[in-house]
Structure 1
Amino acid sequence: MNILNYLLGSLFGFSFIWVPIAHALIVILFGFRMISVRRPVAVAIAWFLIVVLFPLIGVSLYILIGERPVGRKLTRKIIRMDKEYAAITEDMRKRYSADKQLLPVEGRALSLLAESKNGSPVIAGNQIELFTSSLEILQLFIDEIGQAKKTLHLEFYIWALGGDADRVCEALIAAAKRGVACKVLLDSLGSKDWFKSDWPHRFRNAGIQVTEALPIQIGRFQFRRADLRLHRKIFVIDNAIVWTGSMNLVDPRTFKQDSGVGEWVDAMVRIEGPVASQFELTFAFDWSVDNPKINHFKAVAPAATPVEGQVLAQEFSSGPVYRDDILYQVLLSAIMDAREELVITTPYFGPDDGLIQGLMAAAGRGVRVTLIVPKLNDSTLVAWSSRSFYADLMSAGVNIAEFHGGLLHTKSLLIDRKVAIFGSVNFDQRSLRLNFEISLIVYNLDFCAKLENLIESYLAQSDLVNRVAWAKRPRWRVLLENAAHLASPLL
């Protein structure tokens, strides 16, 4: 032991006897930190376990990704602009207050909750179309860009290189050259390859404004969490038409072809009408926050004249700094409001115990609950962790279908075939608590029927997980799933 102490002392510069003391001190101090920030219990226990087992690595990881700061300077800017943003949304809620009377009984509570904490109100008079072919969507993007008259605003997590995604770039440059004001806001991490390419230079030379959202700055991890990401998908044309959904600006024929999961399967909606102004408002807010040259939030143009549409809808945005935990509350409320049927499609499934209990309770009271996830996932850890929930869910009567037609990337909730939540939100901790997300809540039977048809097409390409066969899976798989489950609060 003396020799070991000497060797370790020579290596670390102090007697080895101080190592367990230092270990205990780190754990105690970290425990006080967990108590002071009052994290969710599962998250706190997961982090505490990591720090107990690997103190230096655990503390380093916690400093890097453990909390939810976006940086003091950016936080102050968001708080300041949120006050300016609030005045605009308050006017919007007053302007469209009568539209609340058109809400179906089943959607009233959900709509009020979604517009709370300075959110957008429900608006009538919209037209909405559902598109399910990524290549068709990219071509329609190009067509929309070619027909734009005043403004084109694009906000995406990923703009990938290659294929028809490059054709969208060329179309945008052509639009800027004919006088259309173009702004592009992309996540720094998700679009890192795009930012390293020649496209940003070409865009700026053509007069297109480009902003990099949430850039990762080495040396500032202690002030800004590195994995808080802008995950929204928004494309607004002339403040009158908006596209949103699950699809990034990627060509599925070239995107992540080496991941071994097949092509990404996505869906988008095209909305024409006054609800587009809500998405324009969110884009303008995000643009103002992420653009270092802007210090105050400026109002956007008035909403477009309503089209002859019958769709009642509202934009629903969320993020880790403002409207904190509203997304979690809305999803939990949607689950608890279901009376007949609840269908969820998500590529990444990693909820907390509260949402799991909500799904089990819904199934227990007779709601037909169906979860559709991809059979193959580009994240191995997420895949194993997701399967750790299967047994409990199926024991409560939840149906689980694994899609084998590619990586199912569509994110949706269909409640009683009457209300739909559709957008960028995954059913996992990252979307719930870390990312800036966007959704469209639709209160329209025709749209819900179209979404149901899409879901049926997914189910036709899925394998329903058999509860009896699942219980007989090898013990080593159970152990791997349970091990991955320990990390689920952090994924």
Structure 2
Amino acid sequence: MNHLWDYLLQSMLGITSLWVTLLHLLVVGVFAIQLLLVRRPVAVAFAWLFIVATLPLIGILLFFMIGERPVGRKLRRKITRMEEHYAQITQAMRERYEGDRQFMPQEAKALSLLIEANNGTPAVAGNRVTLHTNSLGILQAMIEDIQNAKKSLHLEFYIWAVGGQADRVCEALIGAAERGVACRVLLDSLGSKDWFKSDWPAKFRAAGIELTEALPIQLGRFQFRRADLRLHRKIFVIDGAVVWTGSMNLVDPRTFKKGAGVGEWVDAMVRVEGPIASQFELTFLFDWSVDNTAITEFSDPEPLGSPDEGHVLAQCCASGPVYRDDILYQMLLSTIMDAREELTITTPYFGPDEGLIQALIAAARRGVTVTLIVPKQNDSTLVALSSRSFYGDLMDGGVNIAEFHGGLLHTKSMLVDRRIAVFGSVNLDQRSLRLNFEISLIVYNETFCANLQKLIESYLQQSNLVNPVSWAKRSRWHLILENVVQLMSPLL
């Protein structure tokens, strides 16, 4: 009798195991078909297959939350409706400043035309661009600009953190609003979640400051809008004529993320005066119109160009997962391939795809001095592990890798042949390339590039070059762990 029960129990377990296996294969098969309905980067598709095959329930839940790229039908319709007027403005800009391309070095003209493509804005002469590298000094300079503002103040940031000098910016903005300056603030819902929970939003509205929360996370709308599409831009426009942009959020580095154990965040910003400011103003106005539910049409007048303030030729590149799709990737790939002598990249988060990896290696092998500077300590363990999985191939290809140990290096820049600089909010990772709304300033000016080179040299003085021989001898455990995490890098 006992033998019979054992036989029946084993048979039931065998049948259950068979059904579980078949169900697992069915789930993975159906999911694979779902992936094939939309063409995705191969690495992204395989990463999702790996996760769903390994952890089916968790993987499918994550896919429906963050696997697709939609912003929601309602928001997409609004963007499409507003793009028509946006396109008219950018077309007028391209026609107005077409002659400025004559001041551009020959090797930069193709890049400029690429950035103009798909309703992009043109390269514009007559700007003054000043590089600022001290975070507390930047916040103080912003406060002074707020105090001197006459007409309008437009701020668009991913993070506004509570505490320290960042609160002084809040106080200055309230003071400006009380003396009649029109103030608008657009902040990412996730990045600035703690700020939105503080007393500052109520104080802003009481002072007459218009405030909009960009891409709010709503649990019930995950099936309609991807949760991790974020507004990652850093834009501050004063009176439509002066703009701050770069890598820095509105945070006091002395208090921001102190528990992360990575030291102070190291950032840089540029203050720009001149006609290029109108391009950043246009980006702000478009984002404001899209994210503000009270606005149904993009009817803001074309931002007026400010008078020439200097001799710098510059161009704005706005990118995002809804409009100007893939322009950012094409720009970065083209910039790397156009380098002839020297290419230096600083980025806190390094997670490129195979195309960018091969472009970097190809540049090094054709004689370009390619240097990648990343923080030694990162606030994201997974990103750090994934980044290091690329080290071996890059160094084998001749790329120099420097790890910065003076804090969390957050500056995002690309310097090409000391003649062209790409500077802004863009990380060299899949999130910036595919998911975030980003902003970049492209500067075609050797004087500015020389100043950026000095900043880069100061970073290198606080960095250690990774030794290829020592790196190859690291433990197999580290190698396996890095490569496992690298499989998920397209999703990080």
TM-score (norm 2): 0.97
CA 285–180 in structure 1, closer or farther in 2 if over 3 Å, else same = same
Contact (CA 8 Å) 1:5, 1:16: kept in 2 or not?
A: no
| Structure 2 residue aligned with 1:410 | 411
Distance (Å, rounded) in 2 between the aligned partners of 1:41 and 1:472 = 30
2:240 counterpart residue number: 239
Q: Which sits farther off after the overlay, 307-316 or 369-378?
A: 307-316
Deviation at 1:489, TM superposition (A): 1.1
Question: Does residue 1:435 correspond to 2:436, yes or no?
Answer: yes
Distance 2:14 2:277 in 1: 64
Give the letter aligned to residue 140 of structure 2: Q
**How many Å apart are 1:121 and its aligned residue?**
0.4
Decide whether the 8 Å contact of 2:277 with 2:306 is kept in 1.
Answer: no
| Alignment correspondent of 2:181 | 180
Q: Is the 8 A contact 2:344 2:372 kept in 1?
A: yes
Distance, in Å, in 2 between the alignment partners of 1:159 and 1:300 is 28
Alignment of 1:1-40 (within 5 A): 3=9, 17-40=18-41
* Percentage of identical aligned residues: 71
Helix, strand or coil: the match of 1:366? coil
Q: Residues 148-206 of structure 1, C-alpha deviation per residue, up to 9 Å, x if partnerless?
A: 00000000000000000000000000000000000000000000000011100100000
User: For 2:185, what is the secondary structure of its paired residue?
Assistant: strand
Name the CA distance, whole Å, in 2 between partners of 1:200 and 1:416.
Answer: 45
- What letter corresponds to residue 28 of structure 2 in structure 1? V
Residue 358 to residue 3, structure 1, CA distance change in 2 (3 Å): same
Are 1:288 and 2:289 counterparts? yes
Q: Distance in 1 between matches of 2:11 and 2:445?
A: 72
Q: Which residue of 2 aligns with 1:147?
A: 148
Distance in 2 between the 1:387 and 1:292 partners? Answer: 42
Cα distance in 2 for partners of 1:338, 1:469 equals 29
1:6 to partner: Cα distance: 6.9
Cα-to-partner distance string for 1:458-483 (whole Å, 9 max, x where unaligned): 00000000111111111111111111
Correspondence list, 1:50-129, <5 A:
50-129=51-130
**1:22 partner amino acid:** L
Gapped runs of 5+ residues in structure 2? Answer: 1-6
Alignment of 1:461-472 (within 5 A): 461-472=462-473
Letter in 2 for 1:55: P
Paired with 1:475 and 1:355, the residues of 2 have a C-alpha distance of: 26
2:167 is matched with 166
CA drift at 1:8: 12
**What SS class does the counterpart of residue 438 from structure 1 fall into?**
strand
For 1:7-56, what per-residue CA distance to the aligned partner results, in whole angstroms no more than 9, with x for missing partners?
A: 999xxxxx665322322221111111111111111110110111111111
- Offset of 1:3 from its aligned partner? 4.1
**Retained in 2: the 8 A contact 1:111–1:122?**
yes
Q: 1:154 aligns to what SS in structure 2?
A: strand
Q: Which moved more, 1:429-438 or 1:82-91?
A: 82-91
Whether the 8 Å CA contact 2:121–2:279 is kept in 1: the answer is: yes
Give the conservation status (yes or no) of the 8 Å contact 2:278–2:306.
Answer: no
1:50-94 Cα offsets, whole Å, 9 max, x none, are 111111111111001111111110011111111111011111111
Q: 1:144 and 1:2 mapped to 2: Cα distance? A: 81
Q: What amino acid is aligned across from residue 438 of structure 1 in structure 2?
A: I
SS in 2 for 1:73: helix
SS at match of 1:333: helix
Q: 2:47 corresponds to which residue?
A: 46
Change (3 A) 1:2 1:62: farther
**Structure 1 residue 316 and structure 2 residue 317: aligned?**
yes
Written as runs of structure 1 = structure 2, the 5 A alignment for 1:341-380 is 341-380=342-381
Q: For the aligned residues, what is the CA RMSD?
A: 1.4
Shift of the 140–17 alpha-carbon distance from structure 1 to 2, 3 Å rule, reads same
CA distance in 1, matches of 2:303, 2:188: 27
Quick one: which amino acid aligns to residue 335 of structure 1?
I
Partner SS for 2:370: strand
Q: CA deviation at 1:437?
A: 0.1
Counterpart for residue 397 of structure 1: 398
Alpha-carbon shift at residue 219 of structure 1 (Å)? 1.1
Q: Is the 8 A contact 1:350 1:382 kept in 2?
A: yes
4+ residue stretches of structure 1 with deviation over 6 A?
4-9
> 2:282, 2:303 within 8 Å by CA — same for their partners in 1?
no
**Deviation at 1:4?**
7.6
Q: Which residue of 2 aligns with 1:230?
A: 231
CA distance in 1, matches of 2:417, 2:70: 37
2: CA distance, partners of 1:140 / 1:7? 71
> What is the match of residue 279 of structure 1?
280
Match of 1:257 in 2: 258
Q: Deviations over 1:259-301 (max 9, x none)?
A: 0000000000000001000000000000000000101112345
User: What SS does structure 2 have at the residue aligned with 1:30?
Assistant: helix
2:112 corresponds to which letter in structure 1? Answer: S
1:12 aligns with none
Q: Secondary structure at the match of 2:50?
A: helix
**Contact 1:5-1:17 within 8 A present in 2 as well:** no
Q: Tell me the amino acid that sits aligned with residue 72 of structure 2.
A: G
Structure 1 residue identity aligned to 2:337 = M
* Match status 1:135 vs 2:136: yes
2:470 aligned partner, one-letter code: A
Contact 2:274 2:310 in 1 (8 A): yes
Q: What is aligned with 1:267? A: 268
Tell whether the 8 Å contact from 1:281 to 1:300 is kept in structure 2 after alignment.
no
- The TM-score with structure 1 as length reference comes to 0.97
Superposition deviation, residue 457 in structure 1: 0.2
Partners of 2:264 and 2:370 in 1: how far apart?
27
3-state SS in 2 of match to 1:37: coil
SS in 2 for 1:463: strand
Give the Cα–Cα distance (whole angstroms) in 2 for the partners of residues 275 and 303 of structure 1. Answer: 10
Q: How does 1:294-333 map to 2 (within 5 A)?
A: 294-300=295-301, 302-333=303-334
Equivalent position of 2:455 in the other structure: 454
The answer to whether the 8 Å contact 1:88/1:299 transfers is no
Q: Is 2:240–2:306's contact at 8 Å kept on the other side of the alignment?
A: no
Matched with 1:194 is: 195
Q: Give unmatched runs, 5+ long, in structure 1.
A: 10-14
Tell me if structure 1 keeps the 8 A contact 2:258–2:264.
Answer: yes
Distance in 2 of aligned mates of 1:209 and 1:144: 19
Deviates more, 1:49-58 or 1:169-178: 49-58
| Paired AA for residue 104 in structure 1 | P
Does the 8 A contact of 1:280 with 1:300 survive in 2? no
- For 1:305 and 1:146, locate their aligned partners in 2 and report how far apart those are by CA, in whole Å: 20
**1:285–1:2: structure 2 CA closer, same or farther, 3 Å change rule?**
farther
For the 8 Å contact 1:345–1:412, the answer to whether it is kept is yes
